[in-house]
A and B are shown apart, each in its own frame.
Chain A
Amino acid sequence: MNQLLVWYGELTSRSALTRRGLFQLIVPVLWLLLFLVLPSMLLVGVAFMQRGAYGEVVWSFSLENLQRLLGYGLFGWSPDNMVILARSVWVAFVTTLVSVILAYPLAFFIASRPSRTRYLWLTLVIIPFWTNLVIRTYSWQLLLAPELPPARIAAFLHLVPPDSALYPSSFAVYIGMISAFLPFVVMPLYSSVERLDWSLVEAAHDLYAGPARVFSQSVLPQTLPGLVVGIILTFIPAMGMFVIPDLLGGAKYLLVGNLIQQQFFSSRDWPFGAALCIGLVLLTLLALGIYRRQGRNVDLA
């Protein structure tokens, strides 16, 4: 059983390798247990508790939070939570879609620069990360203020009343979200575009394909790995985003992230916050499940 074998130039045995593998697994497993599995289980547990009069968690079992999640409250059923959840999915979807549409030309543009300037362009894509998201979002408030050209132009085109800011609005939320997430799509997509085998593009073109067919049959299959990473890096955080809708969406444009944040801070209702978190996680998994079914041969991991 305990055969000797050569493992990357080292003479060892099967059982020694197994032992070493298990030993090396301890740290990551502990890490995941401590910082992912345990907190998640706590969250699930808290979701079935009740809120005390002063915002403390009362340790008695209740399904009330899940009922509230589905819209059943003190005053009967209301669609508010469902609307917020659906809106979150929609905003995340649109953000991802627009980011992908913008990221393709950008990635091709950068990849086609001479190597000297290419890194400059990549740096420009990354520069926003040097600033905190909250600060960047506040700057959008400034940029969308009534005195500045974007708002002026919108007013001139009668899209908004004169002398009004472009925020809070769903438009401002999309602007903020897309600008925040675009680099997350551009970077992985760029790494795929950079390695693109152009002879496949030429072959498609040589075989009478028009632009749409060249894209779908030669560019898309080759950039799929980067695209999948970009979509996941955008969609999941966009589902839980609360800073941007909070600052640019105003009180009426809540996303599930805002709702959760409210429960844990201003409302001091941890059990309901936990229930909302579970709802968000389930919804994300559902969306990824649908996405995975759509792109059957795509490996999401």
Chain B
Amino acid sequence: MISLAHKAEGLEVEGVEKRFGDVTALGGISLSIQAGEFFTLLGPSGCGKTTLLRIIAGLELASSGRVMLAGKDISGLPANQRPVNTVFQSYALFPHLTVYENIAFGLRSRRIAQTEVERRVGYGLGMLQLEQFSHRFPHQLSGGQKQRVALARALVNEPQVLLLDEPMSALDAKLRAEVQIQLRRLQQQLGTTFILVTHDQDEAMAVSDRIALMRQGQVEQAGTPSEVYERPKTRFAAEFLGAANLIPAKRAAGGAETRYGTFQLAEVPSWTAGHLAIRPERIGISAHEPAQNGLRSKVREVVYRGSYQEAWLDPGDLRIRFAPHPQLQAGQEIWAVLPKEALVVLSD
């Protein structure tokens, strides 16, 4: 019962479909996002993640299905009546208004008393370290500052859900990594439900409580970052989130049969043929033949990456990643160890 009550506070997407003419952008999506959760819609461009976000925001209407917020159906409400705010990809700051007035915009729309506007905008400026920019116009700000203004402008309205549409795509890589951490801290501090749309899998893993990996208008897999990363269910999931070695395989007694021999598996799902997936960093190396799941290999190529080294092994073109020392040499003969708990069966 407690879990049900908790669920009612969150956001439910129930069988949401969206068609543009004959094109189906979303094919019946159902998701349950808990209150206070940092939830990420991850996927390549055109997978429908932004469309789903816009349907939650009320900027787009679903062709069918509904969106429930805290137990109430909000599908029919226009955007300006939903307790949901958006940080747009382009930030969409009003160019003719100062930072202060941009942040105050939503409060003024709702005719909130001036003293309260001042209090909340002041809080928003402080929360995102924007005090010294309050009288500037958007064109006088850097990309990172604009992004913070967009965040403050949405958050001062105290939305039940904050929607973020690729808010970091305009930032350079270094700043992006910093902002990801800040965003995560901000979300934990406020306890607001955040729904982030991104195509960047590192970003998704860094900030999210849960990720929904989307593909062609469908949710391919949803779960915590480690679930989705370590136990991908499909080939697409395995390859989209980080690097994966895929070995064609079919079911065999006690494991999986591949052209390199039979491998033991920790879990044997019901399957007949497909692929075995293993992350490069999960493959071990050994000078001696291991008890099981060993593969006699020759190092073909080594790339030194500073914090790790990466190598490609023959046969199988296996990619491995491990600590930078001792350095591996091309041409070296080794045993690759594929631990059974790191091998994941993909049925496609």
Interfacial residues, chain A to chain B (CB-CB below 8 A): 197, 199-200, 202-210, 213, 217-218, 221, 297
Contacts and interface: CB of A to CB of B under 8 A. Distances in A.
B109 A213 contact: yes
Contact of B79 (A205, A217, A218, A297): A205
Contacts of A207: 80, 85, 105-106, 109, 153-154, 157
B94 A200 contact: yes
Top 9 closest pairs, chain A to chain B, by CB:
A207-B106, A203-B92, A208-B109, A199-B92, A221-B96, A209-B109, A205-B79, A208-B80, A206-B86
B78 A206 contact: no
A206 B79 contact: yes
Nearest to A211: B80
A208 B106 contact: yes
Contacts of B59: 202, 205-206
Contacts of A213: 109
Given A199-B89, A202-B59, A203-B86, 18 more contacts: A197-B90, A200-B94, A202-B86, A202-B92, A203-B92, A205-B79, A205-B80, A206-B57, A206-B79, A206-B80, A206-B154, A207-B153, A207-B157, A208-B80, A209-B105, A221-B94, A221-B96, A297-B96
Interface centre among A197, A207, A213, A221 (most CB of B within 10 A): A207
**Which of A199, A206, A221, A297 has the most chain B CB within a 10 Å cutoff?**
A206
B197 to A, nearest CB: 14
Nearest to B95: A221
Main secondary structure of the interface of A (DSSP, over half): helix
A297 to B, nearest CB: 8
A203 B109 contact: no
Contacts of B123: none
B26 to A, nearest CB: 19
Contacts of A204: 94, 105, 109
A202 B80 contact: no
Interface of B: 57-59, 78-81, 84-86, 88-90, 92-97, 105-106, 109-110, 153-154, 157
Contact of B88 (A199, A208, A210, A217): A199
B88 A203 contact: yes
B60 to A, nearest CB: 10
Nearest to B105: A207
A217 B105 CA distance: 9
B90 A202 contact: no
A197 B80 contact: no
A221 B96 CA distance: 7
Contacts of B153: 207
A197 B94 contact: no
Nearest to A297: B96
A62 to B, nearest CB: 52
Contacts of A199: 88-90, 92
Contact of B80 (A209, A217, A218, A297): A209
A200 B97 CA distance: 12
Nearest to A221: B96
A292 to B, nearest CB: 17
A202 B94 CA distance: 11
Given A203-B86, A217-B105, A210 B92 contact: no
A205 B105 contact: no
A206 B94 contact: no
29 contacts: A197-B92, A199-B88, A199-B89, A199-B90, A199-B92, A200-B94, A202-B79, A202-B86, A202-B92, A203-B86, A203-B88, A204-B109, A205-B59, A205-B79, A206-B57, A206-B58, A206-B59, A206-B79, A206-B80, A206-B86, A207-B106, A207-B109, A208-B81, A208-B157, A213-B109, A217-B94, A217-B97, A217-B105, A297-B96
